[in-house]
């Protein structure tokens, strides 16, 4: 678990201080603060937007409590290197911890650890911010409900070594998640080897994965390790696994079952300790039913399936993604900083992005170039096809019948609401629970609106 102080930090701090006030010896805290002679600035927790100042000169009891709290929880979880922005801040907290040990405050420290874990429980806003920052390091951006659900699902598998299957459309970021799983795991010091199965011919792919011995075929002038051997102790990422030939599927099955490989032209068995993460933009279960993919291999790969949602399923993430891509592009190309106008962002949100985040990235880069020297990106900078889609949707929503020769505001609002409900129902295959989630309504409220607007009866005609 990682620690962060967020916009409601006062409530969290006061809760920690209140719970600990009866167990902390104030004299010890002052002694600790007096003995530590280090010039330190702010300790940054997770993000520059969310921080707490710890000032050595204030002799402030709350600051001392916070410094101890932060360090103890991080030391217990072995994650101190993931939070602090500089060596001075970390050095300060290390000295704090050493003095806590000297003053024999072990019992208080243990209780502090327990209390802080309770404050930062798994469903708290702080924990969500922690997860968002954790995955942002790997280029995974988002704060929507769907992406937070995904973060939590991925977070559970990180410390383990089980096989993972990532499924999702092209451009959703499957390889980014594979990297995050590896580099946040205990295997992070060992290799992460990505293999794009669809981009390599079958005979070359076999050689890439399993290696060969000298003389096993024309051109094999030396022994060669395969990627499974190279990745020993680490992770191998098999992208586009659905394109793998039946022959290679059999060999991969053996690796999964026995954790061993045999090089081409050799009878020697080599044991490997490798985590396998595979990815597919096709439905492997359907391929199994059609006889296009081995059923036994599917079940071996499908130990822990993770579905990466399409960008159209988390449109509320489009503004934060677009701004992040824009900022990164401007910095890379040496362009003056730019930002999107609200109306331009709304146009992007109206588009479904069939190419997902990859398409959004290409479009944002194009927009940055088109906008020239202007710092504000306007609707006129948005590609024509996206502007047309936004226009069509807006016109479709605002079309409404006249009442007594004039437009009725009540009918306009009702018409917009009805169209949104219909669109949500169609998008979810008329699953009312899922449609209600899309609309951020209670299921019972949605059902009441459907009946009131006579939507089902209209569709039955």
Q: Which of 397, 420, 451 is the last residue of a domain?
A: 397
pLDDT at res. 393: 65
Tell me, what's the pLDDT at 222? 92
Residue 208, C-beta contacts closer than 8 angstroms, at least 6 positions apart: 195, 200, 226, 227
Domain identity same for 235 and 161: yes
Based on the fold, state whether residues 403 and 429 are members of the same structural domain.
yes
CATH code assigned at 167: 3.40.50.300
Query: Are residues 120 and 242 both part of a single domain?
Result: no
Q: What span, in angstroms and rounded, lies between the C-alpha atoms of 315 and 320?
A: 10
Mode of pairing for the β-strands spanning 224-225 and 211-212: antiparallel
CB 170, CB 310: distance < 8 Å: no
CA distance linking residue 370 with residue 441, whole number of Å: 39
Whether residue 18 is found in the same domain as residue 120: yes
Residue 78 within any structural domain of the chain: yes
Residue 339's H or E segment, with its range, is: strand 339-340
Give a yes or no: residue 138 inside a domain.
no
The answer to whether position 219 is within a domain reads yes
Does 4 map to a domain?
A: no
Q: Is the same domain home to 416 and 386?
A: no
Look at the chain and report how many structural domains it folds into: 4
* Domain residue limits at 37: 9-125
Q: State whether 282 and 409 are in the same domain.
A: no
- In this structure, the answer to whether residues 211 and 298 fall within a common structural domain is yes
Please report the pLDDT score of residue 310 as a whole number: 95
Q: Is residue 90 part of a domain?
A: yes
Instruction: Determine the Cα–Cα distance for residues 64 and 22; give it in Å rounded to an integer.
Output: 15
Q: What string of DSSP letters covers 151-211?
A: HHHHHHHTTS---EEEE--TTS-HHHHHHHHHHTSTTTTS-EEEEEGGGS-HHHHHHHHHE
Question: Under a CB-based contact definition with an 8 Å cutoff, are residues 133 and 47 in contact?
Answer: yes
Q: Tell me if 432 sits within 8 A of 446, measured CB to CB.
A: yes
Biggest alpha carbon–alpha carbon distance for the chain: 90
130 is a domain residue: no
Are 257 and 342 within one domain?
A: no
**In this structure, what CATH number is given to the domain that contains residue 450?**
1.10.10
Q: Is residue 150 part of a domain?
A: no
Residue 132 lies in a domain: no
CB atoms within 10 A of CB 225: 15
Quote the pLDDT of residue 404: 46
Residue 120 shares a structural domain with residue 70: yes
Query: 340: domain CATH number?
Result: 1.10.8.60
Residue finishing a domain among 278, 307, 336: 307
Check: CB of residue 239 under 8 Å from CB of residue 279.
yes
79 with 197, same domain? no
- Asked if 301 and 316 sit in the same domain, the reply is no
Q: What string of pLDDT tens digits covers the 461 residues of the chain?
A: 233 332 233 344 444 444 444 444 444 444 444 443 332 233 323 222 223 333 333 333 334 444 444 444 444 344 444 333 334 444 444 444 454 445 444 554 455 455 445 544 555 555 676 678 789 889 999 988 899 899 989 988 998 899 999 999 999 999 999 999 999 999 999 999 999 998 999 889 999 999 999 988 888 889 999 999 999 999 999 999 999 999 999 999 999 999 999 999 999 999 999 999 999 999 999 999 999 999 999 999 999 999 999 999 999 999 999 999 999 999 999 999 999 998 899 889 888 898 999 999 999 999 999 999 899 999 899 988 888 876 776 665 545 444 444 455 566 677 778 778 887 887 787 888 888 888 888 888 888 888 777 775 333 33
Cα radius of gyration (the chain): 28
User: Are residues 107 and 169 located together in one domain of the fold?
Assistant: no
């Amino acid at each position: 678990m990682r620690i962060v102080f967020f916009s409601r930090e006062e409530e969290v701090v006061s809760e920690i201080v209140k719970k600990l006030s009866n167990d902390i010896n104030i004299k010890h805290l002052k002694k600790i603060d007096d003995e530590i002679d280090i010039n330190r600035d702010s300790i940054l927790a997770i993000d520059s937007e969310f921080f707490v100042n710890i000032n050595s000169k204030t002799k402030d009891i709350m600051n001392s409590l916070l410094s101890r709290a932060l360090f103890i929880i991080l030391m217990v979880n072995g994650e101190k290197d993931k939070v602090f922005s500089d060596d001075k801040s970390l050095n300060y907290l290390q000295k704090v911890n050493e003095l806590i040990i000297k003053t024999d405050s072990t019992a208080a420290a243990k209780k502090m650890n327990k209390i802080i874990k309770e404050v930062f429980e798994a469903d708290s806003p702080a924990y969500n911010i922690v997860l968002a920052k954790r995955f942002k390091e790997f280029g995974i951006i988002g704060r929507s409900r769907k992406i937070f659900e995904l973060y939590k699902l991925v977070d559970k598998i990180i410390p383990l070594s089980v096989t993972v299957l990532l499924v999702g459309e092209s451009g959703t970021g499957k390889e980014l998640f594979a990297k995050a799983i590896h580099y946040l795991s205990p295997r992070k010091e060992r290799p992460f080897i990505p293999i794009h199965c669809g981009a390599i011919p079958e005979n070359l792919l076999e050689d890439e994965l399993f290696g060969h011995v000298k003389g096993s075929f024309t051109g094999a002038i030396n022994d060669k390790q395969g990627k499974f051997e190279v990745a020993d102790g680490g992770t191998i990422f098999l992208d586009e696994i659905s394109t793998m030939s039946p022959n290679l599927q059999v060999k991969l099955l053996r690796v999964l079952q026995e954790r061993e490989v045999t090089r081409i032209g050799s009878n020697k068995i080599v044991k490997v300790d490798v985590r396998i993460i595979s990815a597919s933009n096709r439905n492997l279960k359907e391929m199994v039913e059609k006889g296009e993919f081995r059923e036994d291999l599917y079940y071996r790969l499908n130990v822990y399936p993770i579905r990466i949602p399409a960008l159209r399923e988390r449109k509320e993430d489009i503004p934060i993604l677009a701004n992040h891509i824009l900022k990164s592009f401007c910095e890379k190309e040496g362009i003056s900083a730019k930002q999107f106008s609200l109306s331009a962002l709304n146009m992007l949100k109206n588009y479904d992005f069939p190419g997902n985040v990859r398409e959004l990235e290409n479009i944002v880069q194009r927009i940055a170039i088109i906008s020239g020297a202007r710092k504000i990106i306007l609707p006129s900078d948005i590609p024509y096809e996206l502007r047309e889609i936004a226009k069509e949707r807006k016109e479709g929503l605002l079309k409404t019948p006249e009442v007594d020769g004039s437009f009725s505001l009540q009918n306009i609002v009702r018409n917009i609401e009805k169209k949104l409900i219909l669109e949500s129902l169609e998008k979810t295959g008329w699953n009312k629970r899922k449609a209600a989630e899309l609309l951020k309504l209670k299921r019972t409220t949605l059902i009441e609106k459907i009946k009131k607007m006579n939507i089902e009866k209209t569709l039955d005609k």
